[in-house]
Amino acid sequence: MTDDRWTTKGSSTRTIVIASIATVGTLLLLICSGVAWLFLQKFDDSPNNSSEAISAYYRSLQKQNVDGLASVTCSGSKDNAKSLIDDFNAGFKRDGVTLTDIRWSNEGQRTSGNDSTIVRVRATYEVEKSGEIFVRNEEIEFAVVNNKVCSATPK
């Protein structure tokens, strides 16, 4: 006859060892995934990380920096960049305002394709008119391809 005490004890020990190994493996997997995610965020220049391109786009528009804008737009053409700056400023001149600051939040929708991202964000414009500051909010849809802004269309 078999002694049931030893069989049960061996089975319990084996279960505890397997559970411990599984727990340690899961923890290591979580830690490695977290570290990989952090590295990806730091070094990612893919279209999914488009905030930097949008930020550079707006800074160049504000400073009327044709070289800077050409480097963050699809065409890269300085003529096209100058045209974008002129169009941007003309819109505010029509309203009789001067742009002082643009901020945006990353709330909104993001749709990614192979190498392009459509980002819909809520932009906050701070404008100055006759010495007074006004805040305007606008929904803007950005098309970012290979981390370059191809369009920014008010919706």
CATH code, domain with 139:
3.10.450.50
What total of structural domains would you count in the chain? 2
Residue 22: its pLDDT value, please?
A: 92
Question: 51: which residues sit within 8 A by CB, 6+ positions away?
Answer: 106
Domain that holds residue 22: 1-43
pLDDT tens digits, one per residue of 6-26: 555 667 888 888 999 999 999
pLDDT value of residue 25:
92
Q: Assess whether 57 and 91 both reside in one domain.
A: yes
Amino acid letter, residue 149: V
Strands (E), 57-154: 98-105, 110-112, 116-129, 132-145, 148-154
Using DSSP, state whether 16 is helix, strand or coil.
Answer: helix
Clarify whether residues 5 and 74 are in a common domain: no
State CA 88 to chain mean position distance: 23
Are 34 and 55 within one domain? no
- Tens of pLDDT along the chain (155 residues) come to 555 555 556 678 888 889 999 999 999 999 998 887 776 655 544 444 566 777 778 778 777 888 888 888 888 788 888 888 887 777 666 666 655 555 555 555 566 666 677 777 776 666 667 777 777 777 778 888 877 888 877 77
My answer on whether 15 and 74 are in the same domain is: no
- Is 129 found in the same domain as 73? yes
Do residues 149 and 83 share a domain?
yes
Q: Please tell me whether residues 64 and 122 are part of one structural domain.
A: yes
pTM score > 0.75 for this model? no
Same domain, 106 and 145: yes
Task: Give per-residue pLDDT as tens, 98-111.
Answer: 555 555 555 555 66
